[in-house]
A and B are shown apart, each in its own frame.
Chain A
Amino acid sequence: MKHEPRPCWQPTADVATLKQRAAIIANIRQFFAERDVWEVETPSLSNATVSDFHMRVFDTQFADPMSPQQRTLYLQTSPEYAMKRLLCAGSGAIFQLAKAFRNEEAGKHHNPEFTMLEWYRPGFDHNQLMDELDELMQSVVGCLPAQRMSYQDAFIKYLDIDPLSASLAVLKAKGCELGYEHICRDEQDKDTILQLLFSHEVEPNLANRCPCFIFDFPASQAALARISLQDERVAERFELYYEGLELANGFHELANAPEQRQRFERDNQQRKSAGLSTVPIDEFFLDALDAGLPDCSGVAVGVDRLVMLALGKSDIRHVLAFNYQNA
């Protein structure tokens, strides 16, 4: 086991690194100021939360001085719902630098509390937003222009398998052949195997010289992205990878309230069948979609990872003043 320093009072990043981090964050603000994208602040605590099956949320009890009953509030995992409500209220292009919180996530690329940059562009589709993120990466991190590859092409190129048409049996066989028989032999969920193969076998090949966008994820992994009109097997969702880091996740945003409600209910159904507690559906968010979300694309970027890349650090704690172990 690698030696890990014992937590102590001192910062996990050195002061010089923290100053460089501050400069990067100032550059991000400058980048958006030049493009007339204004900065917003939305709550960290909210009444409803994300339904994503794989997301574990922190919650806390609010003792309301005006009510005998305690109320559960959730720490946000991303400011997505609140920012979309602002878009529905006519905000126009907005960005936010916010703390996001995810339970059960810690490692050299994860801290349970982290900084997220999220922005929305009315009138942009996901391709235009990839262009803008590419510009941000070049100007803030100093990267070369990014490559682009569809999810399907990446699987075909590196694993010789079509993720959109392959059956569960074919995916299981591929997983077993690559040494993951322990997970794959009994797995009934195609997406779990796809996520395993993608993160362990495709991703390490991507983006070692310049960043790489992967786009058109399977519709079953759409999250809050629209399904493509050209190919209903895929969603208009993209991710950005560079040097082994997953940096960003973006969508051409789903604006259809009934479809969004269906996805929430499907998530809760999946939670129920796995023995997890269901989550309250965010009715304010659905009401806002009902009132009308402008056609837009949005993306969330892990700022700590961006700083890791820009400064050549391999562990997230080396870009945080205090990581969760000595926070």
Chain B
Amino acid sequence: MANISTNEFKGGVKIMLDGEPCNILENEYVKPGKGQAFNRVKLKKLISGKTLEKTFKSGESFEAADVMDMELSYLYTDGEFWHFMNNESFEQIAADDKAVGDSVKWLVENDSCTITLWNGTPIVVTPPNFVELEITETDPGLKGDTAGTGGKPATLTTGAVVRVPLFVQTGEVVKVDTRSGEYASRAQK
């Protein structure tokens, strides 16, 4: 892969740091009037998801990370791998539990997910911002309740547990924001 110098660091550029692909978030130039120039860089480690700040000497270069994002449809899991398909080429890719991580509770068949590949292997699975899932279990709510009283826990088909308003019942489909894990609305029929 090509080398990337600190002067090419900008949002979205991917480099290898300590053996792990990282995404550059911010890059600030720091230079004393007399002396060495530095770049103070905010980056996100793609595998662990950790955000960190690192300082480099200006002009230092790093190996580019062979990282790309693909939009793929979720098909099914065989218990060990989660299978996704490219809707245009019908090519299938399998992600392991490390790549799927916490996203497992938001995977809905046929939903389009972002799969981040490093050297061709899936390392991160990002679900859509909103998913619709059916409630499999929740306590019957009190009559006359409107939204905003704190709600009650509801278990969804994937096993995810979200807080829903008291009027929402078992068997209904709800829309959930996967970034916050919060109930958004009842699904449109």
Contacts and interface: CB of A to CB of B under 8 A. Distances in A.
Contacts of A223: 34
9 contacts: A54-B31, A108-B28, A191-B35, A191-B36, A196-B36, A199-B32, A200-B38, A221-B34, A223-B34
Contacts of B26: 1-2
Given A54-B36, A104-B58, 5 more contacts: A54-B31, A182-B55, A191-B35, A200-B38, A246-B33
B160 interface: no
A106 interface: yes
B37 interface: yes
A52 B55 contact: no
A278 to B, nearest CB: 18
A249 B34 contact: yes
Contact of A106 (B11, B12, B29, B57): B29
Contacts of A182: 54-56
Interface in A233-274: 239, 246, 249
Contact of B28 (A107, A180, A239): A107
A183 interface: yes
A221 B35 contact: yes
Contact of A192 (B29, B31, B54, B57): B57
A251 to B, nearest CB: 10
- By size class, the interface of chain A is 20 to 34
Contacts of B54: 182
A110 interface: yes
A131 interface: no
Nearest to A1: B11
A246 B32 contact: yes
A195 B57 CA distance: 11
A115 to B, nearest CB: 14
A52 to B, nearest CB: 7
